[in-house]
Copies of this chain bind each other. A is one copy, B any other.
Amino acid sequence: MAPRFTLAIEELQALLGDRLQTAAGVRQHHAQDESFHAPAEPDAVAFVRSTSEVSEVVRICRRHHMPVVPFGTGTAMEGGVNATQGGLSVDMSLMNKILSVSAQDMDCTVQAGVTRKQLNDHLRDQGIFFPIDPGADASLGGMAATRASGTNAVRYGTMREAVLGLTVVMADGRIVKTASRARKSAAGYDLTRLFVGSEGTLGVICEITLRLHPVPEAISAAVCAFDSLEGAVNSVIETIQMGVPMARIELLDSVAIDAVNRFSNTDYPALPHLFLEFHGTHAWVEEQAETVAALATENGGRNFQWTANTEERSALWQARHDLAYAARAMRDNAKIFSTDVCVPISRLAECILATADDIKTMPIPMPIVGHVGDGNFHVVPALDTSNAAEVAAVEAFHHRLIERALQMGGTCTGEHGIGQGKKDYLEAELPAGVEVMKQIKQALDPESLMNPGKVITL
């Protein structure tokens, strides 16, 4: 392929020096996330250091009609960072400063390259924490861009609720602050929420003000095995309806448990499990755990075991967070094809059980894991992408799963985003809505240079 965007790259090099890279290895590293989507290399990679630098970079790209693809940690699941139309990958990893923390206000402002674990390490001694936890140690910019969530969302919400305000560089290089630091505001259109989940297609998220939470006085975790998936799911539904403010309530089916046991050297029985966590005062955590233990027992739960031991608890959640890697390790050279539907909780048991039946027809093992308190679950097959029949079978399964979820009033993606792979499903889910999204995209990025080809097709 002949070099492209050579004039833009010259200008970018003049601005950034050796922080503008075109070496093959660097471009390859920025060609893909952790999904099965085909890698697509950018023409160059910019390692930016500040919001004003991002603004200058975007202005140069716009003058030369060069696509701009923001890159955080490359740990997403829908191919959002793959440079499908080439252009410039804007690597945010050097923008890793925690700009301010206010323990009194329980908020902080960070550059987009700060990762969730980096932030929590920084907060460790201040009595506050940041709850949102996708499996990977993702960057907070990437998490905002994909409207990420994780295991704590049932209690603390997703990035939609966590982000108080953003500083964004628009397609024309303008720097826009989307909100004040107030907790609550009715000041005009909710630009913050417009950019959260826009996956880099409306602008580059450079700084993020985040809502933090007080570290609870007491935290305890619990594990409970169930004879049936149905019993586990019904326990979740009843718990939520009782108003127990679960901090975490995660489902793993027996295939997922098998993957976890192998990858994390655990020895859970080969049955569906709930992993749970309770946050509060000592007395209140105990009361919550007793309520849920009773509900679980009524639904066929066995050996409801809870622990306030920090190490045991950390090991439990590390095993859960490593699930995608555990699933991938089930086979050699496999890539994860993660599904991500979310349905109203009244339909959750039905949706999971129909999906479990469907999985029985599939040629490969497919673990089910879920943030079931939200109605969100993933089927996580480890795919041999060189096997066309297998890929076709999994894609057909995925299609059936999404149709099932949409018919139940659900969504094709609870937390991973649309990226490259779900644009048609987004149109099926919100046909009139997509037309409005296109109008917004055209108004804010008329040349379609910001992560082009993702989320919507103009």
**Does the CB pair A186–B104 fall under 8 Å?**
no
> Could you say which of A81-89, A256-264, A313-321, A429-437 contacts chain B?
A429-437
Q: Count chain B CB atoms within 10 A of each CB in A149, A175, A375 and give the residue with the most.
A: A375
Q: Indicate the size class of the contact surface on chain A.
A: 35 or more
**Does the CB pair A436–B426 fall under 8 Å?**
no
* Neighbouring B residues of A284 by C-beta, 8 Å: 280-281, 283-284, 287
A343-354 contact mask (Cβ, 8 Å, vs B): 1 or 0: 111100000000
* Neighbouring B residues of A148 by C-beta, 8 Å: 186
Q: Which residues of A from 401 to 458 have beta carbons under 8 Å from B?
A: 406, 409-418, 422, 426, 429-430, 432-437, 439-440, 442-444, 455-456
A375-B197 contact in complex given A432-B174, A439-B443, A456-B188, C-beta closer than 8 Å: no
Chain B nearest CB: distance from A384 CB in Å? 27
A139-155 contact mask (Cβ, 8 Å, vs B): 1 or 0: 00000001111000100
Docked CA distance A255–B35 (Å)? 61
**Does the CB pair A182–B342 fall under 8 Å?**
yes
**Does the CB pair B414–A184 fall under 8 Å?**
yes
**Does the CB pair A105–B189 fall under 8 Å?**
no
Docked CA distance A433–B433 (Å)? 23
**Does the CB pair A426–B187 fall under 8 Å?**
yes
**Does the CB pair B198–A430 fall under 8 Å?**
no
Interface assignment of A237: CB less than 8 Å from any CB of chain B = yes
Interface assignment of A6: CB less than 8 Å from any CB of chain B = no
Docked CA distance A183–B408 (Å)? 13
- A279: nearest chain-B partner, CB-CB: B243
Interface assignment of A193: CB less than 8 Å from any CB of chain B = yes
Interface assignment of A107: CB less than 8 Å from any CB of chain B = yes
Between A and B, 17 residue pairs with Cβ closer than 8 Å are A104-B241, A104-B346, A106-B240, A147-B186, A161-B161, A176-B436, A177-B432, A180-B409, A182-B375, A182-B411, A183-B375, A185-B342, A186-B197, A187-B411, A187-B422, A188-B197, A281-B284
* Neighbouring B residues of A242 by C-beta, 8 Å: 214
Interface assignment of A179: CB less than 8 Å from any CB of chain B = yes
* Neighbouring B residues of A181 by C-beta, 8 Å: 344, 409-410
Chain B nearest CB: distance from A191 CB in Å? 5
**Does the CB pair A406–B180 fall under 8 Å?**
yes
Interface assignment of A362: CB less than 8 Å from any CB of chain B = no
**Does the CB pair A346–B105 fall under 8 Å?**
yes
Q: Which residues of A from 331 to 368 have beta carbons under 8 Å from B?
A: 340, 342-346
**Does the CB pair B283–A106 fall under 8 Å?**
no
- A190: nearest chain-B partner, CB-CB: B193
Known: A160-B193, A213-B243, A439-B443. 10 other contacts (CB 8 A): A147-B186, A147-B190, A157-B161, A158-B184, A176-B432, A180-B410, A184-B411, A186-B411, A186-B415, A187-B422
- A414: nearest chain-B partner, CB-CB: B184
- A373: nearest chain-B partner, CB-CB: B183
Chain B nearest CB: distance from A309 CB in Å? 22
Interface assignment of A376: CB less than 8 Å from any CB of chain B = yes
Q: Which 9 A-B pairs have the closest CB atoms?
A: A193-B193, A443-B443, A214-B243, A104-B346, A181-B409, A182-B342, A185-B411, A182-B411, A176-B432
Interface assignment of A303: CB less than 8 Å from any CB of chain B = no
How many copies, total?
2
Interface assignment of A194: CB less than 8 Å from any CB of chain B = yes
* Neighbouring B residues of A17 by C-beta, 8 Å: none
* Neighbouring B residues of A187 by C-beta, 8 Å: 411-413, 418, 422, 426, 429-430
Chain B nearest CB: distance from A67 CB in Å? 19
A433-B177 contact in complex given A105-B345, A241-B214, A284-B287, C-beta closer than 8 Å: yes
Q: Which residues of A from 258 to 315 have beta carbons under 8 Å from B?
A: 280-281, 283-284, 287
Interface assignment of A28: CB less than 8 Å from any CB of chain B = no
**Does the CB pair A104–B345 fall under 8 Å?**
yes
**Does the CB pair B176–A413 fall under 8 Å?**
no
Q: Count chain B CB atoms within 10 A of each CB in A185, A281, A440 and give the residue with the most.
A: A185
A191-B433 contact in complex given A184-B342, A284-B287, C-beta closer than 8 Å: yes
**Does the CB pair A170–B243 fall under 8 Å?**
no
Docked CA distance A107–B158 (Å)? 18
